[in-house]
């Protein structure tokens, strides 16, 4: 069936086949102004890497540090404290504790947390999409030290809170997001009122933060909520797109089924993150006049960095960038960002998605040998995340 091109780089995120369109954009100028979106578009890997490393390009517009729609609300206050949404001193003071604590996770921490969370959630999760959303967040909550009874509610509040990150959300969703922000912070206060569980991610973050005198406690708590919210949609997309690849790529399902270990699942997730990633783009904002890659940029200008296009750039991945190849020697990625804001959760995210698929294989009948995977029914509306929707009958089949 002929698939018309996406109308622009935002529509491409949720389009069935965006990659030929991305390739055409990549063949154009380093930065192309798209008047309808009022965005500069960057798709080449060298340009995306240079923008992400440029100290004068910011993660938020100077005039709007918090989106207008949520400014002055609890969701807006939490948003404004996230390292992801700040440059400068707040970012410099609070990122290292998160980064070091995540880097200190032991190799079996994530698999054990996923196993535990999968058993806890098994009775309450109803659809394949809900499973992809809830399991990674509940696993991070378990790693942080939350008890079994809190995992499902935390996953639900996180899903509600992340609606405030999308310009597509309705006023009702934004209100729910604020209520969820209040609940999430309250759960962390309760957790903090006790000594952190020995060996937990919370204990590691607090120990790392002790070594950093500029850390503000309130901002740190907001960023612990941030670990849940950064996990939520992106890891749901990574799990979901890996399931799409399992159904589409010849021979892949058989290899996945034959491997009792996590090796194939980890390679599947790594190649999916390269070939059909969860986060298609991010943005940077111009704070002062700047001559960049032959273009004059003005304060207020915004650049859309199409990470999903850049990591298929043959200059970045010379070997068959458009082919899905499980066994490539390295899965080079830009979909987790680069530079000062690069994702500190990348290894964890890949483990969560891979072990999430293994838990699904154990606990549901979809991934049982011979069972048919639910059909892809398009993608959830989003300006940056590619999260598949599966057929309506995708209710959880218990094994």
Which residues of this chain interact with ligand HEM, rule CB under 6 A?
59, 83-84, 91, 95, 98, 140, 226-227, 230-231, 234-235, 238, 278-279, 282, 335-337, 341, 343-345, 348-349
Q: Of 220 and 227, which has the nearer Cβ to ligand HEM?
A: 227
As measured in angstroms, the least distance from the Cβ of 338 to ligand HEM is 8
**Shortest gap between Cβ of 125 and ligand HEM (angstroms)?**
19
The three-class DSSP label of residue 101 is helix
**Burial call 92-112: b when 16+ CB within 10 Å, e when fewer:** ebbbbbbbbbbeebeeebbbe
Q: Decide whether 164 or 278 has the Cβ nearer to ligand HEM.
A: 278
Provide DSSP, 38-61.
Answer: TEEEE-SHHHHHHHHH-TTEESS-
What does the DSSP 8-state code read for residue 348? H
* Shortest separation between residue 140's beta carbon and ligand HEM, angstroms: 5
* Structure tokens, 193: 């009122």
Backbone conformation region of residue 374, classed left if phi is above 0, alpha if psi is from -120 to 50, else beta: beta
- Toward ligand HEM, which CB reaches closer, 227 or 367? 227
With beta carbons less than 8 A apart as the criterion, state whether 387 and 131 touch.
no
Q: Which residue has the tokens 């949609």?
A: 233
Q: Which is nearer to ligand HEM, 44 or 58 (CB)?
A: 58
CB of 186: closest distance to ligand HEM in angstroms? 20
Least spacing, CB of residue 72 vs ligand HEM, in Å: 23
Judged by beta carbon, residue 72 or residue 199, the one nearer ligand HEM is: 199
**Which of 235, 214, 233 lies closest to 96, judged by CA?**
214
What secondary structure does DSSP assign to 5-24, as a single string?
Answer: PPSSTTGGGGSSS-HHHHHH
Check: CB of residue 105 under 8 Å from CB of residue 76: no
Min dist. Cβ of residue 344 to ligand HEM (A): 5
Minimal distance, residue 397 CB to ligand HEM, in Å: 25
Min CB(236)–ligand HEM separation in Å: 8
Nearer to ligand HEM, 98 or 117 (CB): 98
- Comparing CB distances to ligand HEM, the nearer of 200 and 254 is 200
Of the candidates 390, 388, 391, 386, the one whose C-alpha atom is nearest the C-alpha of residue 11 is 386
From 235, 232, 154, select the one nearest 188 (Cα to Cα).
154
φ/ψ (deg, to 5) at 339: 85, -155
Please say which residue, 252 or 306, places its beta carbon nearer to ligand HEM: 306
Residue nearest to ligand HEM (CB): 345
**DSSP β-ladder status, 302-306 and 281-286:** antiparallel
Residue 242 CA to its chain's centroid (Å): 14
* Cβ-based nearer residue to ligand HEM, 55 or 250: 55
């Amino acid at each position: 069936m002929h698939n018309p091109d996406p109308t622009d780089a935002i529509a491409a995120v949720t389009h069935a086949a965006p990659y030929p369109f991305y390739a055409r954009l990549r063949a154009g100028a380093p930065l192309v102004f798209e008047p309808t979106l009022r965005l500069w578009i960057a798709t080449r890997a060298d340009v995306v890497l240079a923008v992400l490393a440029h100290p004068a390009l910011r993660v938020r517009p100077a005039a709007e540090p918090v989106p207008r729609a949520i400014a002055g609300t609890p969701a807006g206050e939490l948003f404004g404290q996230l390292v992801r949404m700040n440059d400068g001193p707040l970012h410099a003071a609070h990122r290292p504790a998160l980064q070091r604590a995540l880097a200190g996770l032991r190799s079996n921490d994530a698999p054990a947390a996923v196993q535990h969370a999968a058993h806890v959630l098994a009775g309450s999760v109803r659809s394949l999409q809900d499973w992809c959303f809830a399991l990674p967040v509940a696993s991070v909550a378990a790693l942080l030290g939350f008890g079994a009874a809190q995992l499902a509610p935390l996953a639900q509040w996180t899903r509600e809170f992340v609606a405030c990150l999308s310009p597509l959300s309705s006023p009702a969703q934004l209100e729910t997001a604020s209520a969820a922000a209040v609940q999430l912070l309250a759960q962390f206060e309760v957790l903090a009122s006790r000594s952190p569980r020995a060996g937990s991610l919370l204990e590691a973050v607090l120990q790392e933060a002790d070594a950093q005198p500029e850390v503000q406690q309130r901002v740190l708590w907001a960023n612990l909520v941030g670990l849940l919210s950064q996990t939520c949609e992106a890891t749901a997309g990574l799990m979901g797109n890996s399931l799409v690849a399992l159904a589409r790529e010849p021979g892949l399902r058989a290899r996945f089924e034959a491997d009792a270990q996590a090796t194939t699942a980890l390679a599947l997730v790594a190649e999916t993150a390269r070939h059909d990633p969860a986060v298609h783009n991010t943005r940077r904002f111009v704070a002062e006049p700047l001559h960049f890659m032959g273009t004059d940029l003005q304060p207020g200008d915004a650049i859309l960095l199409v990470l999903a296009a850049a990591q298929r750039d043959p200059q970045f991945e010379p070997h068959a960038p458009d082919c899905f190849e499980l066994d490539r020697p390295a899965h080079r990625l830009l979909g987790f960002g680069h530079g000062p804001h690069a994702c500190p959760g990348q290894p964890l995210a890949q483990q969560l998605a891979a072990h999430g698929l293994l838990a699904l294989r154990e606990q549901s009948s979809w991934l049982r040998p011979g069972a048919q995977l639910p059909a892809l029914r398009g993608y959830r509306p989003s300006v940056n995340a590619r999260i598949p929707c599966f057929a309506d009958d995708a209710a959880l089949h218990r094994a």
